[in-house]
Homo-oligomer: A and B are copies of this chain.
Amino acid sequence: MIDVKITEELLSAASCTEGLTDGACGGLAVFIGAVRSETKGKKVLRLEYECYPSMALKEMKKIAEAAIQACGAKQMRIHHRTGILYPGDIAVVVVAGSPHREAAFEACRYAIDTLKKTVPIWKKEVFEDGEEWISAHA
């Protein structure tokens, strides 16, 4: 099962298990990425996420497929939020389900690591005294 989604709506913990704890997979490994209130000691007011929706969904699907193929996961969910997020808000939920927890952990780790490298989503951090597109410059 593959479930990828990009949404402007709130992401909640419910995404971690909804439709996944059906008795088929004993272990779910989950990564939840939330907005931090500080970056390098500077207070973060908000994050502005944007994405290239059609390509982002395609890349997310590729990641989910590769995680199933390479790691042996049976279920993959990748939900990403876009728009304006505040400290504590959940930006991303990655869930990998497998009968074996090793496979679940590997698939989850692979998916979030790869998402951060290949999926066309961008965030701008907004501070009290300025703003910055994350990773844009060396």
Q: Is the CB of B22 within 8 A of A28?
A: no
Q: Which of A1-9, A12-20, A56-64 contacts B (4 or more CB under 8 A)?
A: A12-20
- Tally of contact residues, A, Cβ under 8 A: 36
A67–B112 CA distance with the chains assembled, in angstroms: 21
Contact among B16, B99, B109 for A13, CB-based, below 8 A: B16
Q: Which 7 A-B pairs have the closest CB atoms?
A: A23-B37, A23-B87, A30-B30, A28-B32, A13-B17, A21-B34, A26-B36
Residues of A at the B interface (CB closer than 8 Å) are 12-18, 21-38, 87-90, 99, 101, 104-105, 108-109, 112
- If A23-B88, A31-B105 are given as contacts, then 10 extra A-B residue pairs at C-beta distance below 8 Å, sorted by A number, are A13-B14, A13-B15, A13-B18, A14-B14, A16-B30, A21-B32, A21-B90, A24-B36, A26-B34, A30-B31
